[in-house]
Structure 1
Amino acid sequence: MKKEIGSKIKVANTLIERELNNQMSSIFGNYRLTGVQSMILVVLYEADNEPIIQKELADKFVLSHPTIRSVVRRLENAGLVQTGFLASDHRQVTLNLTLKGRDLMRAQIDKIYAVMNEVNHKISSHLTESERNKLVAILDVIINNLK
């Protein structure tokens, strides 16, 4: 039974990630951003010009240091994100949207939120509110068990 649960969660994750990637690529066109890259841009946009520590993003999205670094580097190369360092700890990399990144996000944020809502709707459209709440609670338990 446990083997079945893990494999079903993996399949669901793959399908959700594919859906996000497909929909986000249509929003961001030539930038060819993945779902994770798009979500990082959303977090930076919602931070309203306050720098975000790269490690916090890695923890939030459960990404290894090499993976988050690679994602950030691609966003930097696209001119959407700039990196810096905390004044109090030069080992901590900070991230901000560039002006180009902020303009792009400002122009696309409503579409991004619509995609996120649509994907959430596809995930839970056949569930009652009680079942949705239970699903979220169960996912929280799974996430906390594996941290």
Structure 2
Amino acid sequence: MDEELVLDIGFLLKNINDKMERLANAQFKSIRLTFSQVRVMTFIYHKENFTTTQKDLEVFLDVSHPTINGILKRLEEKEFITTEMTKKDGHLSKTVRLTKKGENVLIASEKEKNLHEKALSAYLTKDERNKLIELLLKVQKSASEMEE
């Protein structure tokens, strides 16, 4: 029975995620950031002009409005982002922009992130790593479809 639990996809994914989150939180503790906050900043960093909307962040991270609101508030207090309300097509939207300070923190942390990523796939060949990513994307798609 215990072996079945270990082979459970959901359990394995949760276990890996928890370990990675603990490592990341320890890494970013010295600069008063959490894994969730860094994920938000990374998403913004990869957007044109380092700018996105709160709604896009909610969708990408699959979190509620109050959750992303709290993360953004703390990032803004630390001056890693700025936010402003904008009106487009008659709808109000919160625009979120990465500051230079936020950009510098992400660049500085990139080396550590790459080391973690390399460690995750240390026991995999390049082909195995690519296949794992392919399979995880399929699992992610299945999980998304289950929610619908």
Specify if TM > 0.5: yes
Q: Is the 8 A contact 1:45 1:102 kept in 2?
A: no
Question: Any stretches of 5+ residues in structure 2 without a counterpart?
Answer: none
Q: 1:61 to 1:77 in 2, by over 3 A?
A: same
Q: 1:50 to 1:86 in 2, by over 3 A?
A: farther
1:15 aligns with 19
2:94 aligns with 93
Structure-2 separation of matches of 1:117 and 1:25: 18
Structure-2 separation of matches of 1:105 and 1:87: 26
Higher relative contact order (CA 8 A, sep 6+): 1
> What SS does the corresponding residue of 1:85 show, helix, strand or coil?
strand
Q: 1:139 to 1:12 in 2, by over 3 A?
A: same
Structure-2 separation of matches of 1:38 and 1:146: 24
2:55 aligns with 55
TM-score normalized by the length of structure 2 = 0.81
Question: Any stretches of 5+ residues in structure 1 without a counterpart?
Answer: none
Q: Is the 8 A contact 1:20 1:35 kept in 2?
A: yes
The CA RMSD over aligned residues, in Å, is: 2.1
Larger radius of gyration: 2
1:64 to partner: Cα distance: 1.9
TM-score normalized by the length of structure 1 = 0.82
Is residue 143 from structure 1 mapped to residue 144 from structure 2 by the alignment? no
Structure-1 separation of matches of 2:21 and 2:75: 18
